[in-house]
Amino acid sequence: MVLMLALASPVLAASLGVSPSHVEIEIPGDGSATADLQVHYFEGEVGISLVDIPLRVEPEVLHVDALDEPVDVQLTIYGDESLGSQVYNGYIKLVGMTGETVAIAVQVKAKINHIVAGQPLPLETPAGETPPPEAAPAAQGGIGGLPLSTVIIIAGGLVFLGLVALAITIAVRRPRY
């Protein structure tokens, strides 16, 4: 036991904080815009990528030393006219690396208004509201307006309850010797 304790190596603990937790940026299709973030509690390489946003971000990797105090980070996100005017709801992903090992990852929620000249942004449905009936997709399968997956779960639960009831009935009717 003493030998195992003597040979044990310390484990690196990592923490990575990023603020703010949400950004909203307007990017021209033929230009770029910046996202100003702060990195906290981390020293090392940070890989940066976009999730569910088909645009390019720079830098893709940067070195930060934010153990003692936060470090300001400025990311440049480039528009792409070929994508047209769109609203993208995704994430800016920051992956902290120590050596060649991923230590921790953090995502910042990002709403990107990608605007191409002469093309209006598509209308968004505000959070919590349902689209008008003509815009709602047709129900696929299901019973009484319930999605098919919900119907399957309910049916499975009923079959399970039936089997439990059957097992109890058989156990009660079984003669005891």
At 57-107, the pLDDT tens digits run: 999 999 999 888 999 999 999 999 999 999 999 999 999 887 777 778 899
Going by C-alpha positions, the residue among 55, 24, 35, 22 that lies closest to residue 124 is 24
| pLDDT at 91 (0 to 100) | 96
Q: Per the domain annotation, does 88 fall within a domain?
A: yes
Q: Per the domain annotation, does 135 fall within a domain?
A: no
Examine the domain organization and report whether 156 and 74 are in the same domain: no
According to DSSP, the residues that pair with 57 across neighbouring strands are: 77
Mean pLDDT (the chain) is 81
**Could you tell me the CATH number of the domain that includes residue 97?**
2.60.40.10
Examine the domain organization and report whether 111 and 167 are in the same domain: no
| pLDDT at 131 (0 to 100) | 52
47: helix, strand or coil: strand
Examine the domain organization and report whether 17 and 102 are in the same domain: yes
Examine the domain organization and report whether 67 and 28 are in the same domain: yes
Burial category of 107 from C-beta neighbours within 10 Å (exposed 0-12, middle 13-18, buried 19 and up):
middle
Burial 144-166 (b: 16+ CB within 10 A, else e): eeeeeeeeeeeeeeeeeeeeeee
Residue 124 clears pLDDT 70, i.e. is over it: no
Residue 24 clears pLDDT 60, i.e. is over it: yes
| pLDDT at 97 (0 to 100) | 84
Considering only CA atoms, give the Rg of the chain: 27
Examine the domain organization and report whether 49 and 84 are in the same domain: yes
Examine the domain organization and report whether 165 and 104 are in the same domain: no
16 is in which domain, residue-wise? Answer: 12-120
Q: Per the domain annotation, does 131 fall within a domain?
A: no
User: How many domains does the chain contain in total?
Assistant: 2
* Tokens standing for residue 115: 């605007």
Q: Per the domain annotation, does 48 fall within a domain?
A: yes
pTM metric for this prediction: 0.62
What average pLDDT score do residues 42-49 get? 91
| pLDDT at 126 (0 to 100) | 52
Examine the domain organization and report whether 63 and 147 are in the same domain: no
The residues near 81 (Cβ < 8 Å, ≥ 6 apart) are: 29, 30, 116
110: helix, strand or coil: strand
Examine the domain organization and report whether 150 and 87 are in the same domain: no
> What percent of the chain stands above pLDDT 90?
46
At 132-165, the pLDDT tens digits run: 555 444 445 556 666 777 777 888 888 888 888 8
Examine the domain organization and report whether 32 and 110 are in the same domain: yes
Examine the domain organization and report whether 150 and 90 are in the same domain: no
- The residue ranking higher by pLDDT, 165 or 26, is 26
| pLDDT at 8 (0 to 100) | 42
Question: How many other CB atoms are found less than 10 A from the CB of residue 48?
Answer: 18
